[in-house]
Amino acid sequence: MTVAGLLEPVAALMRQVGRDIVMPRYRNLAAHEISEKAADDFVTIADKESELRLAAGLAAILPEASIIGEEACAADPAILERAGNGLNWIIDPIDGTGNFAAGKPPFGIMIALADAGTTLAGWIFDPLTSRLCHAALGGGSRIDGEPVQARESGADLPVAALAVYFMTPEERADIQSRSTDKFTLVDIPRCAAEQYPRLVLGQNDISVFSRTLPWDHAAGTLFLNEAGGLCRRLDGSSYQVGDQRPGLLGASSPRLWDVAAETLFR
């Protein structure tokens, strides 16, 4: 099956899982159905059930691809070690689990297909609004089937959402000092499935991510780049699935990427 031929089967699977598993649990979780994998890193029964259903569906769609899911990696970290090798489905069964567990938006389902570390296609689905963002390598980005181009917000100062909660206190202080009077700082949604669309849709201009796990960023980086924005490592290199170095900088245009890189990291 071609990458283009995967668009609708994967989208249909995500819609089904959102409808049958994720949304019935939204604002309907018992206390014992929510736990912490680590400090401030939640998992719910819906995450686990969603991943199992997505993994089974994706294996049926493209059986030659291995499965790398967030919750499977939490149980067996060795799975993540093969992320940059071979053909892999990358699954985030519920991105923004902290929001989901608290009964508030945003949250989403994210899937990517990567080959030898290069993301070939990505899907970002919002079960609350049914918005589907999709990108294919060399094929552009779409929202609900319509081509989309990233655009700057047009604000007097670029609008920046900086995910600094995984940085050291010193790194956070440095970023905040460098941002003063250079950017309009806004709250982050703590949900990459929402943050990447905001960069494309002109709501935010700049985002910095410290942790760069593949289920959080494989689909989003491709979506932003194919829309004409830019997401790269802080040194300007491309994001590769399996590269566990910290630090990603995304912007709604290459121009603003350069501005942000110079302001924040040079």
Q: Are residues 173 and 204 in the same domain?
A: yes
Domain endpoint, select from 117, 147, 177: 147
Whether residue 109 is annotated as binding a ligand: the answer is no
Q: Are residues 117 and 170 in the same domain?
A: no
Residue 106 domain flag:
yes
Percentage of the residues of the chain whose pLDDT score is greater than 70 = 100
Residues in CB range of 238: below 8 A, 6 or more apart: 232
Q: Are residues 13 and 140 in the same domain?
A: yes
Return mean pLDDT, the chain.
95
pTM of the model: 0.96
Q: Return the HEC string of 189-246.
A: CCCHHHHHHHHHCCCCCEEEECCCCHHHHHHHHHHHHHCCCEEECCCCCCCCCCCCCC
Q: Are residues 140 and 170 in the same domain?
A: no
Domain count for the chain, please give it: 2
Q: Are residues 184 and 126 in the same domain?
A: no
Q: Are residues 139 and 180 in the same domain?
A: no
Q: What CATH code is carried by the domain that includes residue 205?
A: 3.40.190.80
Supply the pLDDT for residue 2.
86
Q: Are residues 123 and 230 in the same domain?
A: no
Q: What CATH code is carried by the domain that includes residue 51?
A: 3.30.540.10
Whether residue 49 is annotated as binding a ligand: the answer is no
Supply the pLDDT for residue 141.
98
Whether residue 226 is annotated as binding a ligand: the answer is no
Q: What are 116-154's pLDDT values in tens digits?
A: 999 999 999 999 999 999 999 999 999 999 999 999 999
Whether residue 94 is annotated as binding a ligand: the answer is yes
Q: Are residues 138 and 171 in the same domain?
A: no
Residue 46 domain flag:
yes
What is the residue range of 140's domain?
3-147
Q: Are residues 9 and 43 in the same domain?
A: yes
Whether residue 144 is annotated as binding a ligand: the answer is no
Question: Cα–chain-centroid distance for residue 188?
Answer: 13
Distance CA 47, CA 21 (A): 9
Residue 4 above 90 pLDDT?
Answer: no
